[in-house]
Amino acid sequence: MMKKSENAYDWLGAGYYFWQSNYKRALDFAQHPPGKRRYDAPAVLGAVVSLHNCLDLSDNNYIDLVRLSYQNLKRMCEEDGTELPENKNVPGSNDRVLRELDCRVVENVHEMIAAMEGPPFDSVRGVFTEGGLLYDGAGFYEKTHIQICIRNPNCIKGFFLPRGEASWP
């Protein structure tokens, strides 16, 4: 059974995390996880997922919703006299992989939707630029990836062991 991630720093909020079509990046993460966690036998497991009602952070409609969530959260913190969480670096990285602010903003989206009695999001999808520049002046980064967070476990249709690339043509 998979374990749902519910860390305060999860980029896309609580759920089951997947890299979209990126075996090498998933394996790199398993072999070099941020922080102090280490795995004895890191591996990659493939999955067939259906995003259903997806909070897609590459879609402007949802980007606007996340911006509204941030403004709402900021206002609530000001009224309560509390501080907003922050996105932070881990030692040796400038990528701010501990995304406590982003996590809280995304979770606030889900709370706002629930308060309006709207249909919950089954998944969240985001594009992340991470790592160093590929070359001087580049707009491309070494570890750019699309990550998916499945909130509704019914969206996970099955698992498989990924195979290597076949020679083609």
The amino acid present at 138, given as its one-letter code, is A
Dist. CA 28–CA 43, nearest whole Å:
9
Task: List the one residue out of 119, 123, 106, 120 whose CA is nearest residue 49.
Answer: 123
pLDDT given at position 95: 77
pLDDT given at position 49: 97
Give, for 128, the enclosing helix (H) or strand (E): strand 123-128
The amino acid present at 28, given as its one-letter code, is D
Q: pTM, whole model, 2 decimals? A: 0.90
Q: How many domains, the chain?
A: 1
Residue 120 in contact with residue 110, Cβ under 8 Å? yes
Query: Does a structural domain hold residue 106?
Result: yes
Task: List the one residue out of 1, 3, 6, 2 whose CA is nearest residue 104.
Answer: 6
- DSSP assignment letter at 15: B
Query: Does a structural domain hold residue 7?
Result: no
Query: Does a structural domain hold residue 165?
Result: no
Which two structure tokens, joined as six digits, stand for 79? 């009224």
pLDDT in tens, the chain (169 residues): 788 999 999 999 999 999 999 999 999 888 988 767 788 999 999 999 999 999 999 999 999 999 999 999 999 999 999 999 999 887 777 778 789 999 999 999 999 999 999 999 999 999 998 888 999 999 999 989 999 999 999 999 999 999 877 888 8
- What does the angle CA 69 – CA 7 – CA 31 come to, to the nearest 5 degrees? 125
Query: Does a structural domain hold residue 11?
Result: no
- Quote the domain boundaries for residue 122: 16-35+45-160
Query: Does a structural domain hold residue 65?
Result: yes
Dist. CA 12–CA 6, nearest whole Å:
10
Query: Does a structural domain hold residue 169?
Result: no
